[in-house]
A and B are shown apart, each in its own frame.
Chain A
Amino acid sequence: MFELSTNVASPQQLRRGDFSAYDALYLGEFSCLSYPNNFCAHPEFLAEAVAQVYELGKKAYLRLFAVPSNHDLPTVRKVIETALALPFDGFEVHNLGLLQMLKEMGNTKPIHLGVFGNLYTDATARVVKDYGVTRVYPNPELSLDEAIYIRDNTPIDVLIPVHGKIPLVVAETCFIHENSGGLPGEDCKFKCSQEHWLTRSSGDWSLKDTGCMTLSGADLCMLEHVDRLAAAKLNAFYVQSHGESPEYIAKVGRIYRDAFTRAFAGEAEGDVAPLLEELSGLAKMGLCNGYYFGDAGRRYVGRT
């Protein structure tokens, strides 16, 4: 009926987390190959991980590094070669060069175009379909109407993020490493294990920084719009959870699973205020609706 998914970066997170609310897991942290034990960079972890996900009764998609330089391509290629021999349900690709590489490597698994694949148009959806893409995560700047238009006018499904921080920027260099005295080429000390925040000196804007990626300060929250999403016959939903605690992942997943289950069964949504309060409590910089309703990403529009 619907698929609710989230992301898991490493074997440790996979073992530690409660993913019972989710139908599918995207394995790997796509913004940084140096992230400890990242599935994106460690082919030796993949067989056990995919087996573990299947034991949980879920689908497993493998994420590929979003900004590979030529120097990174041998690592990425090794990951792909390993994954092709394993029962993954698909790859998530952000980089169009990797689409080209997967094609030349004879991949037949479904491909999902990730958030930094910059999918803005139905025309591009048709292009990437020729490379094996079956699902796209539209650029966050697209409105809900635009995402639905792409779904309706192409043979490609759309993934709709419903909760979590919005990926805004991905870079090839690590901002945390550079600004904590690290030198280029020096080993990463994994300082991103601590949360880092960029706050405008005048205090009115805050963003979360994970080193190679900058995320929204506020958490995207679409709980008040679950009925609308279900009515639009959207069916692939995603909780962005990079850098969040196991408790966050479990709680948010449970809230949305229950909400979508009710919505798809045609039941009234009821009073979501207590759940919104719970979600607000998990969000350090408040909630927002992203760009779904044609406004700046950080605004919370609500139902009206």
Chain B
Amino acid sequence: MKTPALLAPGGTLEMARVAVDEGADIVYVGPLGWSRRPYESEMTDEDIRAAIFYARENGRQVRIVLNTFPSPFEMDDFARKVQLYAGWGASGFIVTDPGAIRLIRGLVPDTLIHVSIGSGVTNSWDAEFYREIGADVIILPYRWGETEIAETRCVSGIGLEVFLFETVQTGKICPGKCIMSSYLKFREWLDIEGKATSGSANRGAKECYRVCQTNWDFAAEDGDPVKLKLRRDARLMLEQLPAFVELGVECFKISGRERPVPMIRDLVRFYRKALDGIAAGQTDMSVYVDELATLRGRWTVEKRKRVDVLMDRAEHYSDAAPSLAVAQ
């Protein structure tokens, strides 16, 4: 059985280095304005270059997250970025826009292209579409389990990647199919590297404001309102890993470029141990239960903090701009 790769976030240069040190096979980093994250979780080109060099020195790889839906007016800049990072030794890209996938394949024929969660995949035929236009690996929807993975294996030869967290089967979870944030709030930014962005996180504006996480009253025309939120928290995954590995999942991805470095350090260390154990024949994941419980607790606390920060920004978005960006 082929040992799958562990992908870890590099929200900062420090985080990227820590992820490499702890055993991530691949670190993913996002350039300012091109990767659906706030400025503090994206990197300058200078830091990206340093992250690539550090990973390569240690026999690891870096994927560049270029998963915004660019404006048609940005495609030349997009192409320049791709060539720049490939020239520095980035081994692949994480992308959403189908046109961008084909563009990258043309520019850097031997690079590895991952399809981002923002592509909004819902079935196995989607995977085959992306394989046909040039992608190598596709990240599977949060709610998929063994059945869907096996079905996709039958339909498409594309590589499969899963997030290392699981989510509930109800509620609105629609990555790549939601523009609620920019309907309600809109802001234009000019990054220090000169990229002007506007609109939703889909397009590279600095953040999705998580407006779905606000408190809502939900009511029918003639009914009393029910108080609710639209999304529910995900939690770290573990029990499914041996079966997923058996089914041929090639990459396991830790999310969290915006989380604290110590949290990422401990997650990489934990999942490295779990994946290495599976490779050595360990299929009973109960040995990790206590450790997982602690990590799940920390994960939930950090996630809540993050939502609070984004909601606060939505409330005060006309205030002074953060240090890495200038509000226009």
Instruction: Establish whether residues B179 and A120, one from each chain, have CB atoms under 8 Å apart when the complex forms.
Output: no
Instruction: Establish whether residues B180 and A214, one from each chain, have CB atoms under 8 Å apart when the complex forms.
Output: yes
Residues of B within 8 A of A67 (CB): 120, 122, 177
Chain A CB within 8 A of B324 CB: no
Instruction: Establish whether residues A99 and B129, one from each chain, have CB atoms under 8 Å apart when the complex forms.
Output: yes
Chain A CB within 8 A of B225 CB: yes
Chain B CB within 8 A of A126 CB: yes
Chain B proximity of A10: nearest CB distance (Å): 20
Which residues of B in the span 262-292 have a Cβ within 8 Å of any Cβ on A?
none
Query: How would residues 74 to 112 of chain B score, 1 for a CB under 8 Å from any chain A CB and 0 otherwise?
Result: 010000000000000000000011111111000000000
Interface size class of A (residues with CB under 8 A): 35 or more
Instruction: Establish whether residues A125 and B182, one from each chain, have CB atoms under 8 Å apart when the complex forms.
Output: no
Contact of B179 among A68, A98, A122, A169 (CB under 8 A): A169
Chain A CB within 8 A of B222 CB: yes
Instruction: Establish whether residues A169 and B99, one from each chain, have CB atoms under 8 Å apart when the complex forms.
Output: no
Residues of B within 8 A of A197 (CB): 218-219
Select from chain A the residue with minimum beta-carbon distance to B186: A296
Stretch of A47-55, A146-154, A226-234, A262-270 with 4 or more beta carbons under 8 angstroms from chain B:
A146-154
Chain B CB within 8 A of A200 CB: yes
Complex CA gap A122/B99 in Å reads 7
Instruction: Establish whether residues B72 and A153, one from each chain, have CB atoms under 8 Å apart when the complex forms.
Output: yes
Select from chain B the residue with minimum beta-carbon distance to A290: B183
Residues of B within 8 A of A69 (CB): 122-123, 148
Instruction: Establish whether residues B199 and A141, one from each chain, have CB atoms under 8 Å apart when the complex forms.
Output: yes
Residues of B within 8 A of A72 (CB): 123
Instruction: Establish whether residues A123 and B220, one from each chain, have CB atoms under 8 Å apart when the complex forms.
Output: no
Complex CA gap A126/B133 in Å reads 11
Instruction: Establish whether residues A179 and B218, one from each chain, have CB atoms under 8 Å apart when the complex forms.
Output: yes
Chain B proximity of A156: nearest CB distance (Å): 12
B residues contacting the other copy or chain, number (CB 8 A)? 69
Chain A proximity of B57: nearest CB distance (Å): 35
Report if A201-B176 is in contact (Cβ < 8 Å); known contacts: A122-B75, A168-B183.
no
Report if A291-B98 is in contact (Cβ < 8 Å); known contacts: A67-B177, A68-B123, A196-B219.
no
Which residues of B in the span 165-186 have a Cβ within 8 Å of any Cβ on A?
169-174, 176-180, 182-186
Binding site for B on A (CB under 8 A): 67-70, 72-73, 95-101, 116, 118, 120-128, 139-142, 146, 149-150, 153, 166, 168-173, 175, 178-179, 184, 191, 194-202, 205, 207, 209, 214, 216, 291, 294-299
Known: A67-B122, A97-B125, A297-B184. 18 other contacts (CB 8 A): A67-B177, A72-B123, A95-B126, A96-B98, A100-B129, A118-B69, A121-B75, A122-B75, A122-B99, A141-B203, A146-B73, A168-B180, A169-B180, A178-B171, A191-B220, A194-B221, A199-B219, A214-B180
Q: Mind listing 21 A-B residue pairs with CB under 8 Å?
A: A96-B129, A100-B129, A121-B69, A124-B100, A125-B99, A139-B69, A139-B202, A140-B179, A141-B202, A169-B174, A169-B179, A170-B174, A171-B177, A172-B143, A173-B172, A175-B171, A175-B172, A179-B218, A194-B223, A209-B218, A294-B198
